[in-house]
């Protein structure tokens, strides 16, 4: 019996404008809101592509374009936990038209329900305002050093346990909807299967 594997869903860039710039480029598009009354979102101010916004994640190479950008400040790096596991959280901001926009990226940790290490992408969410946090700006060298240290503590590909079928199913559902919805679907499936026993 052949084993069926679900491929991880990654952003599918439809045209050249959506593709992230090459890894060597540190240029991010400077958004402009001239002549428009529409309020920009933090992800637009950070120059995230349409697919990066839809999937709430950026690929690792793209993250390494964003972090050293001279207009993006890193305020905090912290290993902490969320509903999915322990990760490195990177709190950032970018100023535009005298207003500060914030995103927090998280990755480099084991996602308990996806049952795999998050090393090839960084998830992101909109951050809340914090005056005390905004006063702290970490130097680029320190940020990159801490990211490298965290990466060094993650098992290599050959040391990682293979993802279970349940982890694959969760990942597929999470990529189709969101992680909270995927958790609810799996819980419902568990209840249904236990009722059939």
Structure tokens belonging to residue 67? 């972090």
pLDDT per position as a tens digit, 171-180: 888 888 878 7
By percentage, how much of the chain surpasses pLDDT 90?
46
Q: Please state the pTM of the whole predicted model.
A: 0.75
**Confidence class of residue 36 from pLDDT cuts 50, 70 and 90?**
low
pLDDT the model gives residue 162:
87
Q: Spell out the SS3 assignment of 58-122.
A: EEHHHHHHHCCCCCEEEEEEEEEEECCEEEEEEEEEEEECCEEEEEEEEECEEECCCCEEECCEE
Q: Does residue 69 surpass a pLDDT of 80?
A: yes
How is the chain split into domains, by residue range? 12-158, 164-197
CA angle 118, 45, 175 (to 5 degrees): 35
């Amino acid at each position: 019996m052949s084993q069926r594997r679900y491929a991880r869903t990654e952003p599918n860039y439809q045209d050249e404008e959506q593709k992230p710039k090459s890894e060597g480029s540190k240029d991010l598009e400077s958004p402009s809101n001239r002549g428009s009354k529409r309020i920009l979102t933090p992800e637009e101010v950070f120059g995230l592509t349409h697919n990066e916004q839809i999937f709430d994640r950026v690929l690792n190479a793209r993250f390494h374009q964003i972090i050293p950008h001279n207009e993006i400040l890193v305020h905090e790096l912290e290993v902490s936990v969320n509903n999915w596991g322990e990760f490195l959280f990177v709190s950032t901001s970018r100023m535009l038209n005298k207003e500060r926009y914030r995103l927090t990226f998280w990755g480099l940790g084991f996602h308990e329900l996806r049952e795999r290490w998050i090393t090839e992408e960084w998830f992101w969410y909109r951050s809340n305002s914090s005056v005390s946090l905004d006063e702290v700006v970490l130097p680029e060298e320190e940020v990159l050093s801490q990211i490298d240290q965290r990466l060094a503590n993650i098992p290599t590909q050959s040391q990682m346990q293979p993802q279970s079928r349940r982890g694959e199913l969760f990942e597929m559902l999470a990529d189709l909807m969101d992680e909270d919805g995927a958790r609810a679907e799996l819980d419902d499936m568990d209840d249904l299967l236990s009722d059939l026993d």
